[in-house]
Amino acid sequence: MPEPLHLLVVDDDAGVLDLLRRYFAGQGFEVSTAADGAGMHAALARKPADLVLLDLGLPGEDGLELTRQLRRNWNGALIIITGRGESVDRVVGLELGADDYVTKPFDLRELLARVRSVLRRSVPAMATAETAEATFQFAGYCLHPLERTLRNGRGDAIALTTGEYELLRVFVEHPNRVLSRDDLMERIHGRNAGPFDRAIDVQIARLRRKIEPDATAPELIKSVRGAGYLFAARVQRGR
């Protein structure tokens, strides 16, 4: 049998840690917990996690700073849990590289659905054979779904978070077609975009900084006013 996926929960509320540990263990996950940044780093050193659930309101270094630290050398799946009502915290978290966010108080079934959705996109073993074998070449880049890597013309790997990779994959599979924010949210996060949900906009901005010659004047990912986004590249599929 395959090993269970490893989930690391970081929260300074002992009740929340116990609740999530018991709930996700009951869903077949291996669960580790930490109450602060030091505990998070120690847990990851003991065993890499497939996904980190990270609370923003932590003592000492808060969740945003820990997100920044994680994204310096780790591209695993990351979901922010926040009790803060301000949308700016969610936007900043996404800007720093989180793949999704959940606001407290949360419904456990919704949180489980979010976790599974992100893991489906981030764990290579979950890729289907048909799509995993294909490669996508565009504008001097090559996207390898089997390896979940993006390489430039020199063969150098470009680090992508789970959200960035999945967004790019949707674009290369639907080139020169206008995709609305709802289309993208549904394909990537499994839900529609709310009126104040900027998750897609933030991830597009991050992806542009990695693949556009000039992110302020994008040539590949174009905004279509009032409609959404268009991937304006010639895409070739290979094997």
pLDDT at 127: 46
Kindly state the percentage of the chain with pLDDT values over 70: 87
pLDDT digits (tens, 9 = 90+) for 184-208: 888 776 665 554 457 788 889 989 9
pLDDT at 84: 62
pLDDT at 115: 92
pLDDT at 208: 96
Domains of the chain: 6-125 (3.40.50.2300), 128-238 (1.10.10.10)
Give, rounded to a whole angstrom, the gap between the first and last alpha carbons of the chain.
30
Across the chain, mean pLDDT equals: 85
pLDDT digits (tens, 9 = 90+) for 100-129: 888 888 899 989 988 988 887 766 544 444
pLDDT at 103: 85
DSSP assignment of the chain: -PPPPEEEEE-S-HHHHHHHHHHHHHTT-EEEEESSHHHHHHHHHHS--SEEEEES--SSS-HHHHHHHHHHH--SEEEEEE----HHHHHHHHHHT-SEEEESS--HHHHHHHHHHHHHHH-GGGS-HHHHH-EEEETTEEEETTTTEEE-TT--EE---HHHHHHHHHHHHSTTSEE-HHHHHHHHHSSPPPTT--HHHHHHHHHHHHH-SSTTS-SSEEEETTTEEEE-S--EEE-
Query: What is the pTM (predicted TM-score) of this model?
Result: 0.63
pLDDT at 161: 82
